Amino acid sequence: MIAPGNDAGELSSQAGAFDAADTRRRVKAILLGSMGNLIEWYDVYAYSVFSLYFAGSFFPSSDPVAQQLATSVIFAAGFVARPFGGLLFGHLADTHGRRNALTWSVLLMSFGSLLIAVTPTYASIGIGAPILLTIARIVQGISQGGEYGTSATYLSEVAHPERRGFYSGVWYVTLIGGQLCATALLLFLQKLVLTPGELRSWGWRIPFFLGAALAVSTSMMRKDMHESEHFEKAKAVARNASGLEVALKHWRTMLLVVGVTIGGTSAFYTYTTYMQKFLKLSVGLTDEQTTMVVILTMVVAIVLQPLYGALSDKVGRKPLLMGFGLLGTLFTYPLLASIHRTKSAVVATLLICAAWLIVSGYTSITAILKAELFPTNVRALGVGLPYALTVSLFGGTVDSVALAFKNAGHETWFFGYATACIFVSLVVYAFMLDTKRHSRMEQHA
């Protein structure tokens, strides 16, 4: 069996009574931590959602697939930067507190979004335009790499021990909610405010200005967050090595995070960032149909997250992971192939919702699952760094891989690629321990 740490033993979690005042304090802390997560993911997905409109401003090619491929490569560049954010902010969170790391990560995201909003077009400054766009995405990637591990860690430490799965699902609601907000803003601009020409000319800048402003306001709110009690207790533990040295002692557990993440992150980005392009460029839906399908399916995904998370509090984390791995391996190819063949927005919506019934077995518990693998003094770095590395290779590249297959005339090869990623994780799930019953949440070093 794959153990959740180098010296991990089974720890019994002593859950206290559900005191009303304590619950309010925990919920407030979780909402403050999660709100920044929503803004971070809104800023990132604004790039993906609005890329159909701003691609021509940075890449003068007349081929829309080539333009989207170029913008998706820059989108992936932000994911390449995420491990640096996971290392930087994970170390900051483990040594100087979760609150400080969360405040600075969202401020950095504000800067990246503002840079995209003000970057001139290719027609104005030539090659400088895509270069500045790339720099902005790298800044966003560093910020997001730090946000994930730190916010997941903070949530796991402030949530009630018997409700950690449920609040993990709530936390993932904010992640999907970020994309939902970006997509809803696009629908609002499409239908009520701007013409398609205005969106392509200058309207695509609006979401980035808005995201920058929201990130600044969120950083101010996070100053009122109370620090995690787990972190306060861990500060008393003597530290004779750097945070990275401590983390590397848990290298087996970090590899376990990689294996757990490969299938889930590839599936998540397939049905979120890439699905909009897939529906538009491959299925042939109109702009408005594409936007509506994405919004409706994300609403379904949001409803599922806390339900699945609460289920994991009852039955454990492993049964949900195994369900995702088995069903994902069996049905990813048929689902994507069926979406590809249909020309109906209704059928596409139902098929994507079916996919979310599978993928939610991973997404709903991913935050708490990884946090339960590490002791407090290395938790933020242990969660954030290997996760960011895996997402940079298998999550952020989904658009680029799928569009490259399409450009080469072999679009269905991507369906097999997505299936293979899930199968790799299924093998890991089969041999790992259930982290609900083998948790290291109460270990501080």
| Residues sharing a CB contact under 8 Å with residue 141, sequence separation 6 or more, in sequence order | 77, 78, 79, 80, 81, 82, 84, 85, 392, 396
Q: With respect to residue 6, please indicate whether it lies within any of the assigned structural domains.
A: no
- Residue 307's domain comprises 22-222+242-431
Q: With respect to residue 14, please indicate whether it lies within any of the assigned structural domains.
A: no
Q: With respect to residue 438, please indicate whether it lies within any of the assigned structural domains.
A: no
CATH number of the domain that residue 363 is part of: 1.20.1250.20
Q: With respect to residue 442, please indicate whether it lies within any of the assigned structural domains.
A: no
Q: With respect to residue 15, please indicate whether it lies within any of the assigned structural domains.
A: no
pLDDT in tens, the chain (445 residues): 554 544 333 333 344 445 666 667 667 777 776 777 788 888 888 888 888 888 888 887 666 777 777 887 888 788 888 888 888 888 888 888 888 888 888 888 889 999 999 999 888 888 898 899 999 999 998 998 888 888 888 888 888 888 889 988 988 888 888 888 988 898 889 888 888 888 888 999 999 999 999 888 887 777 777 777 777 776 665 555 555 666 678 889 999 999 999 999 999 999 988 898 899 888 889 888 888 898 899 999 999 999 999 999 999 999 999 999 999 999 999 999 999 999 899 999 999 999 999 999 999 999 899 989 998 888 888 888 899 899 888 987 888 899 889 888 899 999 999 999 999 999 999 999 998 888 887 776 6
Q: With respect to residue 237, please indicate whether it lies within any of the assigned structural domains.
A: no
In the chain, DSSP finds a helix count (H) and a strand count (E) of 20, 0
Q: With respect to residue 69, please indicate whether it lies within any of the assigned structural domains.
A: yes
This prediction's pTM: 0.83
* Nearest CA among 38, 153, 32, 31 for reference residue 91: 153
For the chain, the domain total comes to 1
**DSSP per-residue string spanning 3-43:** -SSTT------------HHHHHHHHHHHHHHHHHHHHHHHH
